[in-house]
Structure 1
Amino acid sequence: MRKLTLATIFASTLFATSSWAEDVTLKMATIAPSLGQAITMSTFANIVTENVDGISIEVAAGGAATVHMLEVANGNLDMSMGSPTIHFLLTNKKAMYKDVEDNEALAANVSQLMAFPWGAYHFAVRADSDIEYLDDIEGATVFLGPQGGGAYNAAKGWIAATTGLVAGEDYDAIKANWKTGFQAFLDGKIDMYVNGCIDPCQQFIQFTETEKVRFIGPEDHTGEAVDKFLGKFRHRAEVPAGLYENQINDGPVMSNDTGVSIAVRTDMDEDLVYQMTKAFWENVGNITSDAPWAKVLTPEYGAKAEGTIKLHPGAERYYKEVGAL
Structure 2
Amino acid sequence: MNHRLKGAALAALLAASPAVAQDQTLRMATIAPSLGQAITMATFANIVNDNLDSVTIEVAAGGAATLHQLEVGRGNLDFAMTSPTIYALMVNGRAMYQNEADAPEAAENLDLLMWFPYGQYHYTVRADSDIEYLDDIEGATVFIGPQGGGAYNAARNWIEASTGLVVGEDYEAISANWQTGFQAFLDGNIDMYVNGCLDPCQQFIQVTETEAIRFIGPESTEGDAVEAFLGNFSYLEEIPANAYANQANDGPTWSHNTAVGIAVRGDLDEETVYQITRAFWENLAQVTSDAPWAQAISMEYAVRDLAGMPLHPGARRYYEEAGAL
Following superposition, the deviation at residue 289 of structure 1 comes to 3.2
TM-score (norm 2): 0.91
Following superposition, the deviation at residue 146 of structure 1 comes to 1.0
Unpaired stretches in structure 1, ≥5 consecutive residues: 1-16
CA contact (8 A) 1:28 1:77 kept: yes
Q: Which whole-Å deviations, capped at 9, do the CAs of 1:224-244 have from their partners, x for residues lacking one?
A: 111111222111121111111
Q: CA separation in 2, counterparts of 1:188 and 1:113?
A: 40
Q: CA separation in 2, counterparts of 1:285 and 1:239?
A: 26
Following superposition, the deviation at residue 320 of structure 1 comes to 1.7
Q: Which whole-Å deviations, capped at 9, do the CAs of 1:123-166 have from their partners, x for residues lacking one?
A: 01111111111111111111111112111111111111111111
Match in the other structure for 2:3: none
Worse-matched range after superposition: 209-218 or 281-290:
281-290
Q: CA separation in 2, counterparts of 1:122 and 1:184?
A: 16
CA contact (8 A) 2:42 2:59 kept: yes
Q: CA separation in 1, counterparts of 2:250 and 2:124?
A: 15
2:195 is the alignment partner of 1:198: no
Following superposition, the deviation at residue 18 of structure 1 comes to 4.8
Q: CA separation in 2, counterparts of 1:23 and 1:260?
A: 29
Aligned residue type for 2:301? Y
Aligned residue type for 1:271? E
CA contact (8 A) 1:213 1:248 kept: yes
Q: CA separation in 2, counterparts of 1:55 and 1:18?
A: 15
Q: CA separation in 2, counterparts of 1:139 and 1:41?
A: 37
Following superposition, the deviation at residue 44 of structure 1 comes to 0.4
Following superposition, the deviation at residue 285 of structure 1 comes to 2.4
2:280 is the alignment partner of 1:280: yes
Q: How many residues align?
A: 309
Aligned residue type for 1:225? A
CA contact (8 A) 1:124 1:192 kept: yes
Identity %: 65
Q: CA separation in 2, counterparts of 1:105 and 1:181?
A: 34
Q: CA separation in 2, counterparts of 1:182 and 1:18?
A: 47
CA contact (8 A) 1:285 1:295 kept: no
Following superposition, the deviation at residue 102 of structure 1 comes to 4.8
Aligned residue type for 1:283? N
Following superposition, the deviation at residue 199 of structure 1 comes to 1.3
Q: CA separation in 2, counterparts of 1:180 and 1:130?
A: 24
2:220 is the alignment partner of 1:220: yes
Q: CA separation in 2, counterparts of 1:18 and 1:104?
A: 31
TM-score (norm 1): 0.91
CA contact (8 A) 2:22 2:55 kept: no
Query: Within 5 A, what are the aligned runs for 1:237-248?
Result: 237-248=237-248
Worse-matched range after superposition: 148-157 or 288-297:
288-297
Q: CA separation in 2, counterparts of 1:296 and 1:161?
A: 27
Closer, same or farther: CA 21–259 of 1 in aligned 2, 3 Å: closer
Following superposition, the deviation at residue 259 of structure 1 comes to 0.7
2:266 is the alignment partner of 1:259: no
Match in the other structure for 1:300: 300
Query: Aligned with 1:156: secondary structure?
Result: helix
Match in the other structure for 1:146: 146
Following superposition, the deviation at residue 99 of structure 1 comes to 3.8
Query: Aligned with 1:71: secondary structure?
Result: helix
Q: CA separation in 2, counterparts of 1:143 and 1:104?
A: 30
Following superposition, the deviation at residue 92 of structure 1 comes to 1.6
Q: CA separation in 1, counterparts of 2:146 and 2:250?
A: 30
2:216 is the alignment partner of 1:211: no
Q: CA separation in 1, counterparts of 2:132 and 2:80?
A: 37
Query: Aligned with 1:217: secondary structure?
Result: coil
CA contact (8 A) 2:79 2:264 kept: yes
CA contact (8 A) 1:18 1:272 kept: no
Q: CA separation in 2, counterparts of 1:139 and 1:21?
A: 57
Worse-matched range after superposition: 101-110 or 42-51:
101-110
Aligned residue type for 1:209? E
Following superposition, the deviation at residue 21 of structure 1 comes to 5.6
* RMSD, aligned α-carbons: 1.6
Q: CA separation in 2, counterparts of 1:70 and 1:256?
A: 26
Greater helix proportion? 2
Q: CA separation in 2, counterparts of 1:134 and 1:274?
A: 44
Q: CA separation in 2, counterparts of 1:308 and 1:289?
A: 32
CA contact (8 A) 1:120 1:257 kept: yes
Match in the other structure for 2:130: 130
Closer, same or farther: CA 52–307 of 1 in aligned 2, 3 Å: same
Q: CA separation in 1, counterparts of 2:126 and 2:101?
A: 47
CA contact (8 A) 2:70 2:103 kept: no
Worse-matched range after superposition: 92-101 or 19-28:
92-101
